Amino acid sequence: MAEREHEIVVFGATGFTGALTAEYLASHADKGTRWAIAGRSAEKLDRLRDRLARLNPACAGLPILQADVADASSMRRLAEATKVVITTVGPYIDYGEPVVAACAAAGTDYVDLTGEPEFVDLMWLRYHSQAQSTGARLVHSCGFDSIPYDLGALFAVGQLPEEEPIKLEGFARASGVPSGGTYHSTVEIMGRLRQGARVARERRTMEQRPSGRRVRGVSGPPHHDAVAGGWVVPLPTIDPQTVLRSARALDRYGPDFTYSHYLVVKRLPTLVGLAAGAGAMIALAQLAPTRQLLLKLMDPGQGPSPEQREKAWFRVRFVGVGGGKRVVTEVSGGDPGYGETSKMLASSALCLAHDRLPETAGQVTPAVAMGGALTDRLERAGIRFALVEP
């Protein structure tokens, strides 16, 4: 990649998570990092820059780029001006493709925080090959979806013997208040399950699988698990998909790798209530009128207060067995949806911009693109990767 004006641009910087990501970069970016903020409104970007300058006076001269997903030429200029684009503009199924397209064409690395499986599959179908030819690394799900699970699984696998079959289970627990943007993305996913399944099938028919190795997702039954610390239920989010894609790409996961992914709750009635609530939301999201009513319950710009974020936390525990050895590992941190997500997203971009990494291109997972280099950055930033039981 020829020298570019910027190393990182945060697109959607004036949104809730975008602003948190910009704040993290203002306080923690590697010394000398050339970065900028971008979005539709110059006025809002000016106000954000003033806020960032109060955190770090050096940000008083932070470059501002005006760009709009509806304007392809502005997307092209943005992608060609930087090494890495961070985008927080969602729902990604509605607003994400122009950014991916511009980065794939320009050979620019791309990171987002999407948890939308249909979007990720669609972008693979449309832009993976082009990104491979231009050298762009398209790295989706670089927030709470799916960094703790993807890098956590890689960390757990690293504690087990090589070239042995591995069985891994992941158990997720978290406490926090969702933002309006997250809520809207969730409703969109629920309302597009049929379309998502169709795109996933199309990707499976085209995507090459590893030769001589087997990688499988196993959906276990709901049950009580002492190591997880409560009742567990299979969690069919994008996170296990990301883990399995990393396992297919990396031989370190062994010749026969299985992964099961669960949500943990303390009490059985809570589990029953969550299942009933999710079922009701899925049913309501199928019809346009009721889906619109659901979307009106929260504004996309809403988000938890600093006090609410301060109390939030997450813990993902992994139990791995392979080669006659059993390990328990854990990834943990603070506010999963926003404080830690902005940290993960910004750290991913810094890793792509500055660190020595494997040579990859196309749509790749965080573990494949960055692996241990990103784990090291996150540990320095306060996210804990620990071996609980050898």
CATH code of 104's domain: 3.40.50.720
Q: How far apart are CA 376 and CA 153, in angstroms?
A: 15
277 and 140 within one domain: no
Q: Supply the pLDDT for residue 281.
A: 67
62 and 21 within one domain: yes
| 109-111, strands of its sheet edge to edge | 64-66, 35-39, 6-11, 82-87, 109-111, 137-139, 362-363
Q: 258 in a domain, yes or no?
A: yes
Q: Supply the pLDDT for residue 181.
A: 66
Q: 1 in a domain, yes or no?
A: no
Question: For residue 388, what are the contacts with CB-CB under 8 A and spacing of at least 6?
Answer: 317, 328, 329, 330
Q: Strands (DSSP E) along the chain, which ranges?
A: 6-11, 35-39, 64-66, 82-87, 109-111, 137-139, 166-175, 214-217, 223-225, 230-234, 256-265, 313-322, 325-333, 362-363, 384-389
> In this structure, which amino acid lies at residue 385?
F
178 and 76 within one domain: no
Q: Supply the pLDDT for residue 184.
A: 67
124 and 23 within one domain: yes
SS3 content of the chain, % helix, strand, coil (to 5): 50, 20, 30
> In this structure, which amino acid lies at residue 87?
T
127 and 228 within one domain: no
100 and 52 within one domain: yes
Alpha helices in 298-338 (DSSP H): 306-311
Low-confidence ranges of the chain (pLDDT < 50): none
Q: 129 in a domain, yes or no?
A: yes
Q: Supply the pLDDT for residue 179.
A: 63
- Identify the CA nearest to 314 among candidates 166, 167, 170: 170
- Identify the CA nearest to 324 among candidates 155, 152, 166, 156: 166
Q: Supply the pLDDT for residue 271.
A: 64
Q: Supply the pLDDT for residue 90.
A: 86
Q: What is the DSSP letter of 15?
A: S
Number of domains into which the chain is organized: 2
Q: What Cα–Cα distance (Å) separates residue 202 from each residue in 118, 160, 345?
A: 11, 34, 29
Q: 379 in a domain, yes or no?
A: no
Q: Supply the pLDDT for residue 50.
A: 97
Alpha helices in 29-146 (DSSP H): 42-55, 72-80, 92-95, 97-106, 117-134
Q: How far apart are CA 242 and CA 135, in angstroms?
A: 21
Could you tell me the pTM of the whole model?
0.91
Q: Supply the pLDDT for residue 202.
A: 97
Q: Supply the pLDDT for residue 191.
A: 76
Q: Supply the pLDDT for residue 9.
A: 98
User: Which residue's structure tokens are 């690394």?
Assistant: 137
78 and 211 within one domain: no
Q: Supply the pLDDT for residue 221.
A: 86
CATH of the domain at 323: 3.30.360
Domain around 208: 147-335+384-389
Annotate 2-37 with b (16+ C-beta within 10 A) or e (fewer).
eebebbbbbbbbbbbbbbbbbbbbbebbeeeeebbb
Instruction: Tell me the sheet residues that pair with 347.
Output: none
Q: What Cα–Cα distance (Å) separates residue 378 from each residue in 25, 143, 152, 191?
A: 14, 12, 11, 34
